[in-house]
Structure 1
Amino acid sequence: MASDLDMSFVNVSLPLRASGCLYEVGIAGGKWSYVRKQETPPAEGTVVSLEELTPEQAADGIAVDLEGRLLLPGLVDSHMHLDKAFTIQSVGNRSGTLREAIENYSAAAPGFTREQIKDRMREAIRQAAAYGTTSIRSHLDFNCRESTDVAMRTVYAALELKEEMQDVMELQFFPMCPYDPGARGVAEAYEEALKLGLDGVGGAPHLSTDPEGSIAYLFRLADKLGLPIDLHADENDDPAIRTVEFIAEQTLRYGFQGRVATGHLCSLSAMDHPTAERVMRKMADAGLRAITLPGANLYLQGRGDRGLVRRGVTRVKELVEAGVPVAVASDNIQDPFHPFGRGDLLQIGLLSAYASHLASEQELLLLLRMMTEVPAAILGLKDYGVQPGQAADFVIFDARTVHDLLSWLPAGRWVGRKGKWISISREHRWSRESRERIAK
């Protein structure tokens, strides 16, 4: 469902702007037309309650009373794997380790058709949209083990979905460069895929037999094609694995400050503090962005530990203190890398609050920015935020304080994108038909 909004909201709480006051906002032509403090309450009988809003009223440009509910710009999930979503039933992981997840998915990938991949991705996008996400950056499996045709199958599925779902979701796709780009035909196929219209260079070079060589290749390619870089970095419990340092060096060498994101950074949490401080200073000096992925890392890391178990979540507070912007993202949804999740970024934000000890009023506001403003900057979104003239992408939560938002994870969420409703449902449940279809 999508209908023209062109409406106004009153009694709006904008936690990223200010607390302790209410706002009134208006939308015209798919953009915010005004955002101002509310001086007087609306006249009785001139507005409709959000809970009573119907699709017909939504299309009539009616004024809606939020009654103090929180309104945020659309959530931004800066690290997902849409193509792998909902494969846990067909691709298991008995050990629960990263290694087995990689091996099992790689072996299963040739058996997936383009339509199966698209179906899973479409369902994940719809789920995320219903929970309030309006922009996603997804990494793509680029499996050349059997043939480049298998890798390109995923690429074509992603490009088709990007066009199909443009009214629902802003999508970016970063293919994962194989660990050995020097293998026969791999580099040529990877560059060809990027030239088809993908958005940036991705990979997990810490898993390569030659991490520095792989990183250098990715920077050369990104520089050649004028594309940003987003890398899985140091997803390991071993404190000696520090490829992010070389990523920082290459970022400075190529002048890519502000254009390189690094996800996971698990080994950073295993390092002694002086070493970690040195690494984080290098990251800050290079203008790297960091993405914490608590769901998958809490599940995968520390599998070999006994007693005091390392949990893998990176040093969120210390990175922020060092001047490195940090976003929180979903990563995997119900696949061999992470068997849980539903595309709800707020749920993942709560995991980050637990794992990173975020609880004060200022820390919870930081967490909101980790789901909105910080990842929007990582994605390079130019038309973002609840400001006049910006695109009217938003999510309204059935909560009136940030603490309640994180405590209750309210089911009531009303979502708009570019001035059109994409969800006014108060509950988000999968149909049995959808579950059975994507599990095939």
Structure 2
Amino acid sequence: MDQIIRDARIWRDGELVNTDIAIKGETIAAIAPDLSAEGPELKAGGCLVIPGLIETHIHLDKTCILDRCRIEEGTVAEAVRETASAKRGFTVGDVYARGRQTLERCISHGTMRMRTHVELDPGIGMTGFEAVEQLARDYAWAIDVELCVFPQEGLTNYPGTEELLIEGLRRGARTIGAVPYFDTDPRAQIDRIFAIARDFDAEIDMHLDLAETTQGMQVEYVCRKTEEFGWGGRVAVGHVTQMSLLPPDRFGEITTRLANAGVAVTILPSTDLHLMGRNHDHAVPRGVVPAEPLREAGVTCSISTNNVLNPFTPYGDGSLIRMANLYANVCHVSRPADLAGCLDMITGSAARLMRLNDYGITVGGPADLVCLDASNPTDAIATLAQPLWGIKRGRMSFTHPRPELHRPGN
């Protein structure tokens, strides 16, 4: 064997088990306690070993631009305005360099699969797409990056944008996004996105219902279009902060619609906490949708980073464990099973959202593994467990040594 991981703790068949994992080439060759196989050994020491973390919603093209933007209002409109101004000066080299900073942070925190949204419109053209496309190629040794093309500044109101979205899909993007709330005709944008997705057999991942009131919500319309096009299981909506403002009965109605239609939900706690509640001087709404009732109803949910160090989110380090812990804090998640569910939303559930059929720790599956400094999924989230090492396609991709205390007399 090329590598044998000894005494790993994994989640298997509904329970935690201690086992060894043998790797041959890029795949997992065997999983069993006390394997008799020979080869270089890596001791997990009873720590939790999971498949690589999954970032379902991030923006590599507009990361790390705080040095060229202002944040005075902290609103969605200001963030779009400032970013639109900054991106007119983007070059392929600039986007690549900034995107690389964030991508490497994500890799070092255990992320091995990623869907990144890339803005396309006549103002930026294919610049961001080309840079992120190159990043995906250059870092394929550590992470699988999927591109989602989308119209941040509108579609029906911005001539030339649709042609660029189609060009991105023709050049290999497998997902198309949307931002209906920045279009003069939100439902016309939704209609066009579904039609384009059908033409290219593409996944759909929308920014949706990011606002501080419950007026003008489009989530039920998206469910209706999903059913009309037969796209169940292939549509995700991110943000949906307006749902967090609904009374329980109404929340339950939409939850049922999402589950029946097969529309997934991505929760973006850092961005939504930063942008929402700006018009309140007391009883400030958090804007973060609670995932537990959605998951109980059968809705596929993920937790993701969204933006890093830009006007939409002026902080971030690429750690999905930290993001899941932030979500747990904000949404009062405390039961052990629910905390474990937060880890699922950045692993297994996120894989279902992205329809990754080769994900998980199974014999014959890809040797994409991360060792967390925790003994179980609940503690991994509750303690912000450090990823100790990662293996991508059978090859070590990052390591983090444990901190060492220098006691007096040592």
Instruction: Pick the TM interval, shorter chain.
Output: over 0.9
User: Is the Cα contact below 8 Å between 1:412 and 1:427 reproduced in 2?
Assistant: no
CA distance in structure 1 between the aligned counterparts of 2:283 and 2:400, rounded to whole angstroms: 43
Change (3 A) 1:10 1:234: same
Instruction: Kindly provide the CA deviation profile for residues 355-395 of structure 1, in whole angstroms up to 9, marking residues without a partner as x.
Output: 22222221122111101011112222121100101101111
Q: Could you tell me which residue of structure 1 aligns to residue 99 of structure 2?
A: 121
Moved more, 408-417 or 334-343: 408-417
Q: Which residue of 82, 86, 92 corresponds with 1:104?
A: 82
Q: Could you tell me which residue of structure 2 aligns to residue 65 of structure 1?
A: 43
Moved more, 88-97 or 413-422: 88-97
Question: What is the identity, as a one-letter code, of the residue corresponding to 1:116?
Answer: D
Q: Could you tell me which residue of structure 2 aligns to residue 33 of structure 1?
A: 29
Question: What TM-score results when the alignment is normalised by the length of structure 2?
Answer: 0.93
Question: What is the identity, as a one-letter code, of the residue corresponding to 1:180?
Answer: L
User: Is the Cα contact below 8 Å between 1:397 and 1:412 reproduced in 2?
Assistant: yes
Alpha-carbon offset, residue 19 of structure 1? 4.6
Question: How many residues were matched structurally?
Answer: 402
More strand by share: 2
User: Is the Cα contact below 8 Å between 1:16 and 1:365 reproduced in 2?
Assistant: no
Alpha-carbon offset, residue 14 of structure 1? 1.0
Alpha-carbon offset, residue 136 of structure 1? 0.6
Question: What TM-score results when the alignment is normalised by the length of structure 1?
Answer: 0.87
CA distance in structure 1 between the aligned counterparts of 2:271 and 2:402, rounded to whole angstroms: 25
User: Is the Cα contact below 8 Å between 1:268 and 1:315 reproduced in 2?
Assistant: no
Instruction: Kindly provide the CA deviation profile for residues 51-99 of structure 1, in whole angstroms up to 9, marking residues without a partner as x.
Output: xxxxxxxxxx412221111101000010001111111222222211111
Q: Could you tell me which residue of structure 2 aligns to residue 369 of structure 1?
A: 344
Q: Could you tell me which residue of structure 1 aligns to residue 408 of structure 2?
A: none
Q: Could you tell me which residue of structure 1 aligns to residue 166 of structure 2?
A: 191
Is residue 130 of structure 2 the alignment partner of residue 152 of structure 1? no
User: Is the Cα contact below 8 Å between 2:268 and 2:305 reproduced in 1?
Assistant: yes
Alpha-carbon offset, residue 427 of structure 1? 7.5
CA distance in structure 2 between the aligned counterparts of 1:224 and 1:413, rounded to whole angstroms: 43
User: Is the Cα contact below 8 Å between 1:106 and 1:143 reproduced in 2?
Assistant: no
Question: What is the identity, as a one-letter code, of the residue corresponding to 2:145?
Answer: L
User: Is the Cα contact below 8 Å between 2:121 and 2:161 reproduced in 1?
Assistant: no
Q: Which residue of 269, 273, 280 corresponds with 1:298?
A: 273
Question: What is the identity, as a one-letter code, of the residue corresponding to 1:161?
Answer: L
Q: Could you tell me which residue of structure 2 aligns to residue 172 of structure 1?
A: 146
Q: Could you tell me which residue of structure 2 aligns to residue 341 of structure 1?
A: 316
> What percent identity do the matched residue pairs reach?
26
User: Is the Cα contact below 8 Å between 2:65 and 2:309 reproduced in 1?
Assistant: yes
Instruction: Kindly provide the CA deviation profile for residues 249-283 of structure 1, in whole angstroms up to 9, marking residues without a partner as x.
Output: 00000000100011111000112222221111111
Query: Aligned with 2:66: secondary structure?
Result: coil
Change (3 A) 1:394 1:180: same
Pairs within 5 Å for 1:282-293: 282-293=257-268
CA distance in structure 1 between the aligned counterparts of 2:73 and 2:49, rounded to whole angstroms: 41
Q: Could you tell me which residue of structure 2 aligns to residue 382 of structure 1?
A: 357
Question: What is the identity, as a one-letter code, of the residue corresponding to 2:139?
Answer: M
CA distance in structure 2 between the aligned counterparts of 1:120 and 1:194, rounded to whole angstroms: 23
Pairs within 5 Å for 1:159-238: 159-177=133-151, 178-181=153-156, 183-238=158-213
Is residue 401 of structure 2 the alignment partner of residue 426 of structure 1? yes
| Runs of 4+ off more than 4 Å | 16-20
Q: Could you tell me which residue of structure 2 aligns to residue 135 of structure 1?
A: 113
Question: What is the identity, as a one-letter code, of the residue corresponding to 2:398?
Answer: S
Moved more, 187-196 or 407-416: 407-416
* Larger RCO (CA within 8 A; separation ≥ 6): 1
Q: Could you tell me which residue of structure 1 aligns to residue 8 of structure 2?
A: 12
Question: What is the identity, as a one-letter code, of the residue corresponding to 2:333?
Answer: L
CA distance in structure 1 between the aligned counterparts of 2:193 and 2:16, rounded to whole angstroms: 47
CA distance in structure 2 between the aligned counterparts of 1:358 and 1:259, rounded to whole angstroms: 28
Alpha-carbon offset, residue 348 of structure 1? 0.1
